[in-house]
C-alpha cells in the first residue's frame, strides 16, 4: 500500500492506494501544527485499522504540505509507524510537469499534485479548480505545461472574516445546508450564504471563461476540494467533480520517483 498525505491549512487528507492503484480508503483529520510525530503515528495507525488495514501493509508514502511545521512531524511519524521514508513534494522531486511560472521552485505542493493528476488523467488543456481553504484555479496547456493560475480567499476564510470583522454577523456553517434557490437573500443568514456561495460560483464561472480566452480554446474543467460539490450546482458551466484528484496526483508523483 502507498500512503498519500495532503497537509492543508485546515485538514490533512490521508489516503491509501493498493497495488492496482485503487484508492482503498480516504480519511481526514484536523491539521494541527502542534501535534508531535508520535501523536500523528498513533492517529494514522488508528485510521488504518478503522478501514481494516495494518501499518505493515504500507510500503511507501508521499506527502504534499502547505504547513511546513507539520511536514517534518508526519515524515517522522511515517518512519516510526511503517519503517519507510516518505517522499515530500517539492524541489528535487520529479513531477513530469513543465512548470512555466516566474519562480518554479515556489509552486505549492498541492498545486503541483492536482496539476499532475489533470495532466495524467484528463484531456488537455485543462483548468483545475480547487475549492478548499483557499480558492485556486490553475491552467495546464495542451502540451502539459503548468502556466499559472489564481489564488483567492476560500469560502471558509470568507465566513470567518465576516464573523470576525463585523459586529453583528454570525459565524455560519454552510456545507450541509440545502442548495440556494435564489440569489437574493431575505434574511441575514441567507444573505451571507448567497454572498459566499453565489459569489464563489460567479467567480469560478468568470475564471473559466477568461482562462479559456487566454488559452485560446475550450478546456477540460475539473473541480476538487471540500466545497466543490456545494459550489458546482450554482455554476452555469458544467465541469467534472474529482474529490480525490490530489490523492491521485500524489500517487502519480510517487511512481515517477520510485522504481516499481
**How many C-beta atoms lie closer than 10 Å to residue 242's C-beta?**
20
List the grid coordinates of 80.
Answer: 516510526
In the residue annotation, 38 being an active-site residue is answered as no
Residue 25, burial from CB neighbour count under 10 angstroms (0-12, 13-18, 19+) = middle
Residues 18, 21, 110, 205: which is the catalytic one?
Answer: 110
Question: In sequence order, what are the beta bridge partners of 87?
Answer: 62
**Over the chain, what HEC string results?**
CEEEEEECCCEEEEEEECCCCCEEEEEEEECCCCCCHHHHHHHHHHHHHHCCCCHHHCCEEEEEECCHHHHHHHHHHHHHHHCCCEEECCCCCCCCCEECCCCHHHCCHHHHHHHHHHHHHCCCCEEEEEECCEEEEEEECCCCEEEEEEEEECHHHHHHHHHHHCCCCCCCCCCCCCCCCCCCCCCHHHHHHHHHHHHHHHHHHHHHHHHHHHHCCCCEEEEECCCHHHHHHHCCCCCEECCCHHHHHHHHHHHHHCCC
- 60 vs 226: CA distance, rounded Å: 26
Residues annotated as catalytic (active site), given as ranges: 110
Amino acid at each position: 500500500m502507498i500512503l498519500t498525505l495532503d497537509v492543508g491549512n485546515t485538514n490533512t487528507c490521508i489516503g491509501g492506494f493498493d497495488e492496482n492503484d485503487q484508492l482503498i480508503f480516504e480519511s481526514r483529520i484536523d491539521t494541527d501544527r502542534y501535534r508531535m510525530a508520535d501523536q500523528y503515528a498513533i492517529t494514522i495507525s488508528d485510521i488504518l485499522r478503522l478501514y481494516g488495514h495494518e501499518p505493515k501493509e504500507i510500503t511507501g508514502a508521499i506527502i504534499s504540505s502547505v504547513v511546513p511545521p507539520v511536514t517534518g512531524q508526519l515524515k517522522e511519524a511515517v518512519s516510526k509507524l511503517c519503517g519507510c521514508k516518505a517522499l515530500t513534494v517539492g524541489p528535487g522531486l520529479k513531477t513530469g510537469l513543465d512548470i512555466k511560472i516566474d519562480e518554479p521552485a515556489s509552486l505549492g505542493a498541492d498545486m503541483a499534485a492536482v496539476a499532475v493528476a489533470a495532466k495524467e488523467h484528463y484531456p488537455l488543456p485543462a483548468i483545475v479548480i480547487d475549492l478548499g481553504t483557499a480558492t485556486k484555479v490553475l491552467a495546464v496547456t495542451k502540451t502539459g505545461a503548468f502556466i499559472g493560475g489564481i489564488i483567492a480567499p476560500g469560502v471558509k476564510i470568507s465566513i470567518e472574516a465576516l464573523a470576525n470583522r463585523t459586529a453583528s454577523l454570525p459565524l455560519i456553517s454552510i456545507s450541509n445546508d440545502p442548495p440556494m434557490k435564489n440569489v437574493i437573500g431575505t434574511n441575514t443568514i441567507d444573505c451571507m450564504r448567497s454572498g459566499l456561495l453565489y459569489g464563489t460560483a460567479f467567480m469560478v464561472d468568470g475564471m473559466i471563461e477568461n482562462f479559456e480566452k487566454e488559452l485560446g480554446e475550450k478546456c477540460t474543467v475539473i473541480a476538487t476540494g471540500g466545497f466543490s460539490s456545494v459550489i458546482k450546482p450554482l455554476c452555469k458551466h458544467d465541469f467534472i467533480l474529482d474529490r480525490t484528484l490530489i490523492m491521485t496526483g500524489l500517487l502519480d508523483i510517487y511512481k515517477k520517483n520510485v522504481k516499481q
